[in-house]
Structure 1
């Protein structure tokens, strides 16, 4: 029935036809500048905003690759494309989103106490054609950024009104097909945006992925983004068969695109209702948003294959939750003895009602329970920020944020149930000097944090009955069940420092250079794949970023960035001080030929440097370089044809690599090996768009 309604909705759409340097004004608080227009607005050299114009000719393999507009951010995948992507930034393997927060239209995407991983950030429901802007920040220097944002954050906004309604169809290799239709008619002095997407992909995998996605967006609002309101309804369903990473020693047997467990995969949905409101007056501006989200995921995985020689190692991570939350902020302009002062105060509230479980399975049939928990998690924050323009060439931004968390866990293992609370205060300071010759200089320091999985906060015994799950286990099922374990710290602080420069002294060119450092305390972390805790060591990450944006003529955009990072554990341990999986080098360059009748084009190169896979750095991943191309031709005023060539050079590289022990069928014991998930081979996708 849902698919029928979706198709009817889709086809029902078809007929529908300031920046300022020097002393600030209040309008600057609400203005969205281009990434080329941050002087006098930005608090750091590493923040920016990317517009739809800059995304228009960007070839994308996956929806989340929209976030690769953030300099230094790499998006990859180690499983099926219905699962959240893997993120790399600033010396982090961010897993599926920890320490990088993302929001869409004010709604958080990251999931705390998630079945698969803390901060799980699934952006597969994103429709890139609807994105109006991406605002990104890095570091711990913003009072408005809370949980999961120590490395950075991204705020994505959809358009409220399209230039014209359209319908488009995409066909490509590997059974790829996509149908998208969207329109935004005027209704009662407001704009009604409706978009529907149907998506299918088998991919290059030996076992077809059979990825199916149904996506619906409905928005209605009046006024403008900074002085108006909008209500949004989103619906997303997906299901897929996954090809997880495989051991290199098995590739000769199953092939580069093969699998060792053809029954892994998952299904998920995300339905949301949200509202945004903003009011801009002469002396102040206010904004607020509320949201209600219904979310579920069933994820079957098998990363070690057959250490359990009877059932195999497949497991199910199940997550079902309801999320309700709200955000509000207000800013106003004052004169303090001749010094312009902009003050902003805000609050965030979020409650997650979660059912989360970890189960042993074989061919998706459940045969055992590791953990089955009911969790209620609530967070409340208050924050404030004051910007003072001391002189025409010097301003300061002082921020303070307080976060309070409450965790209530009801576990199937009574000893692991309980209630805990925690709070953290995070001060921030930014100093901005200039501009001189269209150049500004920045000094930043601040404290941030990330939360931990509630199940790890109340844990007292290891509930995992599977063999070999803890050091010292002999491999007999259940032997380690009941071992005492230490709970994790609820809120873990991170302290960051940054110095940078941003310049527009050369015509058409914006360039920024940033030196940064981030320290994170030692902690225990909850391991979602095992249902218990593991120790994590204190760490320091530091590096340099160079980002450039060049618009020499109206029809040509060029961007390029280079990021170098060092990630080290800061304690003493004979195993070594390298952080496994930490990104050390990333670079990208892109050229976009804006629509100049009848042609348009985009070419991008992405370099993903080698990473240490174990602490002593003796085993490393290889680097990868991928080139993607998009070319478009306007057949008529209403019809446009475009071709994407993804992995243009057909490079055989890994999307991701790990090093750990696994056991193939027939092996007597686990073997340490590199486990890889290949990048997809050259893929062609042809899109026909009709403007209505």
Structure 2
């Protein structure tokens, strides 16, 4: 049995959030909201109850163990890991296992992070290159209702925005158990008419694993921002290098028998290395009576990943394989906004075009022994280009009613030069996605939202031209549809009628023409069955005094395949409930800190629901003190109650060296045990 990871157009789970300080993503521009005194009151002009902006004030007070966990400010989003920390995280949102990023469109300052036709998984999203202290805000939109978002955004879209400058020079030093070390330096001197932001980060960690992870990464960021008469101009260069030894999931039976430790390993040679170098230019200013923003970017990316999930089904050579990806990405994103009146009604028009081209020099899958190749399963060169245009019109019909009508068109071209000629070829496809939103309010500090829209994700380009299974070169293989429809709807409410508190509720649905199934060790993608998801999201944020914020999020979902199949109708990996509770303190006396309770519930692991994962609950704490405007010291305690739960759980066949045949079993990656870290920061 192959190792199979279900991915797809996802669904979504939660309304405005504990993370939203009364803000949102307006139909015009992002409006960042800062708490001063009491909770900001229904600021911004969102088109759904499932979007918002999280500011740096909250990000700084959230205890996080890994860089990827900063994305958990998106309500209902769970970020875990099933391998070495250098590998992209595993994401769960709105009742869906999004694998490493499929259907969660992620960007940093507008530059997309998701990788289509990736060596390890469609939409692969690795944010290890992000320096957390330099992030100014995180904006999110869940659902299919926004004209600006396209590929990979059926479940949601997240955009991280870097600061333009820091207050003085900043130095941070961290240390902790399991040989954790981290250092950061950042400064933003004035250079000419603008500001030069420079950041440099180094980190090393071995982790609690029997086989030390030896994860090392180095990040660099240089950004120059210059104000203009009607806007600003910026140039950003970014570089990331990381390498690690993988701590992949392990079979439950090997732990139960005492053969390996809970933090043990099967194959000691699993490992990875990756880099991402980027250059972007961003400009905005007044043009033709409106505001024009233009972004151009180029990215150089590479990944070598060695994995072994089934161990010794091939008893002679073992089952380790290498996935390789080497590409250059070029793109542009241009948008023009203009406010005007028509028949006495205030309007805002948004027009935009986006172009992205992935020049994949080589994307390959190889069988390996101790990281040495001995067989090429497939090796391809791929070009994939998308052209997108969108428009939306926001109309305020009265003081209580406004609508947003949008239309988006996307066209894709795929070219595959395969080592197996039968799988080479070209393909193209296009899709039109209408969007509609109605907002009623505010009245009595309350707004109602009604949203419906069509979204999509692209499939792996290799699946669009495939004719035979690359594993044997003979067995016929079905081609996948290049683009897959997703239809979503959302009814929501948010209210600030209770003093110092904001509440929101959202009821949502998402129907998919097909799930996307990536078979990692075979190098194929499979269009799976049609599905539907339904869910309810609740969120509350309470700001009783200026130095205290309490937030809570709850989400429930139901995910099912919609066709008849004797295998069953459950969708593997679809988490059914998520809950979080957080406290953030920033007291005038100098004390600061945060606490976070995070829970995600059971999920079916196979279609007939006969095998299910166990729930996972974690509590993290962080507390510190500012000795002056210059020095601050803090300590973090992660997994306070030393939970023995799992970050990820799968069910599939594997075979250990002492076994005569494959065995179906649960395979898991444990949460890290109780961990202490200390942090010292200074500004000068």
TM over 0.5: yes
Are 1:366 and 2:358 counterparts? no
- Counterpart-to-counterpart distance in 2, 1:62 and 1:650: 17
Look up the SS of the partner of 2:259 in the other structure: helix
- Counterpart-to-counterpart distance in 1, 2:518 and 2:579: 32
Shift of 1:635: 2.5
| Aligned equivalent of 1:339, options 318, 341, 345 | 345
Which deviates more from structure 2 when the two are superposed, residues 201-210 or residues 572-581? 572-581
Relative to structure 1, the CA distance from residue 634 to residue 524 in structure 2 (aligned partners, 3 Å threshold; closer, same or farther) is closer
| Aligned equivalent of 1:323, options 305, 329, 345 | 329
| Aligned equivalent of 2:91, options 51, 76, 87 | 87
- Counterpart-to-counterpart distance in 2, 1:647 and 1:309: 38
- Counterpart-to-counterpart distance in 2, 1:422 and 1:638: 56
Contact kept? 1:452, 1:525, Cα under 8 Å: no
Quote the residue 1:306 is aligned against.
312
- Counterpart-to-counterpart distance in 1, 2:237 and 2:309: 36
Shift of 1:462: 0.7
Quote the residue 2:383 is aligned against.
376
In the alignment of these two chains, the number of paired residues is 654
- Counterpart-to-counterpart distance in 2, 1:29 and 1:283: 16
Quote the residue 2:420 is aligned against.
413
Quote the residue 1:161 is aligned against.
165
Contact kept? 1:430, 1:444, Cα under 8 Å: yes
Shift of 1:601: 1.1
Q: TM-score normalized by structure 2?
A: 0.94
String of CA shifts for 1:439-497, please: whole Å, max 9, x gaps: 000000000000000011100011104xxxxxxxxxxxxxxx31111111100010001
Contact kept? 1:488, 1:525, Cα under 8 Å: no
Look up the SS of the partner of 1:649 in the other structure: coil
Quote the residue 2:31 is aligned against.
31
Look up the SS of the partner of 1:434 in the other structure: strand
- Output aligned runs, 1:612-691, within 5 Å: 612-691=604-683
Contact kept? 1:184, 1:194, Cα under 8 Å: yes
Look up the SS of the partner of 2:57 in the other structure: helix
Contact kept? 2:105, 2:114, Cα under 8 Å: yes
| Aligned equivalent of 2:82, options 75, 78, 81 | 78
Are 1:388 and 2:392 counterparts? no
Q: TM-score normalized by structure 1?
A: 0.92
Greater relative CO (CA pairs within 8 A, separation 6+): 2
| Aligned equivalent of 2:128, options 124, 146, 152 | 124
Contact kept? 2:619, 2:639, Cα under 8 Å: yes
Unaligned runs of 5+ in 1: 1-18, 466-480
Are 1:173 and 2:177 counterparts? yes
- Counterpart-to-counterpart distance in 1, 2:373 and 2:632: 49
Shift of 1:224: 8.4
Unaligned runs of 5+ in 2: 1-19
- Counterpart-to-counterpart distance in 1, 2:90 and 2:530: 22
Shift of 1:351: 0.3
Quote the residue 2:470 is aligned against.
463
Look up the SS of the partner of 1:55 in the other structure: helix
Quote the residue 1:600 is aligned against.
592
String of CA shifts for 1:346-390, please: whole Å, max 9, x gaps: 011000011100000010010100000000000000000100101
Q: CA RMSD in A?
A: 1.7
- Counterpart-to-counterpart distance in 2, 1:279 and 1:527: 46
- Counterpart-to-counterpart distance in 2, 1:134 and 1:30: 10
Relative to structure 1, the CA distance from residue 37 to residue 373 in structure 2 (aligned partners, 3 Å threshold; closer, same or farther) is farther
Quote the residue 2:69 is aligned against.
65
- Output aligned runs, 1:569-584, within 5 Å: 569-584=561-576
String of CA shifts for 1:208-255, please: whole Å, max 9, x gaps: 000000110000001289921111000000000011001100112110
Are 1:531 and 2:538 counterparts? no
- Counterpart-to-counterpart distance in 2, 1:374 and 1:533: 16
- Counterpart-to-counterpart distance in 2, 1:53 and 1:308: 52
Are 1:424 and 2:424 counterparts? no
- Output aligned runs, 1:164-203, within 5 Å: 164-203=168-207
String of CA shifts for 1:600-639, please: whole Å, max 9, x gaps: 1100000111111111111111111100011111233311
Which deviates more from structure 2 when the two are superposed, residues 607-616 or residues 30-39? 30-39
Look up the SS of the partner of 2:164 in the other structure: coil
- Counterpart-to-counterpart distance in 2, 1:271 and 1:384: 32
Contact kept? 1:168, 1:688, Cα under 8 Å: yes
Relative to structure 1, the CA distance from residue 674 to residue 225 in structure 2 (aligned partners, 3 Å threshold; closer, same or farther) is farther
Quote the residue 2:10 is aligned against.
none
Relative to structure 1, the CA distance from residue 28 to residue 506 in structure 2 (aligned partners, 3 Å threshold; closer, same or farther) is farther
Relative to structure 1, the CA distance from residue 530 to residue 163 in structure 2 (aligned partners, 3 Å threshold; closer, same or farther) is same
